[in-house]
Amino acid sequence: WAKAALRCARQAAVILLVCGTLTFSGLMVTSQAFRAQVLEVLVQVYEEITNFRFSAEGETDRRAGDVALTYLPEGMEEIRRSGNHINLHIFFEDATGNTMRLTHTVIGDKTSHVSMLDTEDAEVEQFYIQGEQTTAISKGLDHTILWTSGNSVYLLTGTISMDELKQAVEAIQ
């Protein structure tokens, strides 16, 4: 009895899924207004996020973690480090609860990296640090700096001031 009920439930689920898919497909093909609404929702969601895609030409012998921080904002201490040979995450915190995180990603010949950052109603600034184009994003109390160097992608985020983050970026080797 239980097997028969389960089989009927599966069949009903498949029938509902097929009907839903056919209805959606039919509306997308026949209804210009429905299609426009779906595409508008997709565009609105995409406009709130900025997508950065990175790929490398050629192999690299560099490993994630081949990075030295020669400056930390006053009171910041490393509290945790995690990662592997491709990604490294270093977490910092001060006594007042301000945080900072450095992510170092190494991109090889057969890999790529995508960073999606929230830029809706954010202040976005482009500038150069150590000869590399850098993107800084400030939104409320959250600040982010994204840049590349060779086959490495760096992302520094924090609740400290953007000026302090920029000083930390300038001192990363």
In order along its 173 residues, the chain shows pLDDT tens digits of 788 888 999 999 999 999 888 887 777 667 777 666 666 655 555 556 676 767 766 666 666 666 778 889 999 999 999 988 888 999 999 999 999 999 998 887 777 777 878 887 888 898 888 788 889 999 988 999 998 887 888 999 999 999 999 999 888 87
**What is the predicted pLDDT for the residue at 118?**
81
pTM of the model: 0.67
| Residue appearing with tokens 């520094």 | 156
Contact in structure between 49 and 43 (CB atoms under 8 Å): no
Q: Helix count (H) and strand count (E) of the chain?
A: 3, 9
Which residue in 119, 54, 57, 117 sits closest to 87, CA to CA? Answer: 54
Among 92, 27, 67, 75, smallest CA distance to 149 is for 67
E-strand ranges in 27-66 read 49-55
Q: Cβ(146)–Cβ(52) under 8 Å?
A: yes
pLDDT tens-digit readout, 86-101: 889 999 999 999 999 9
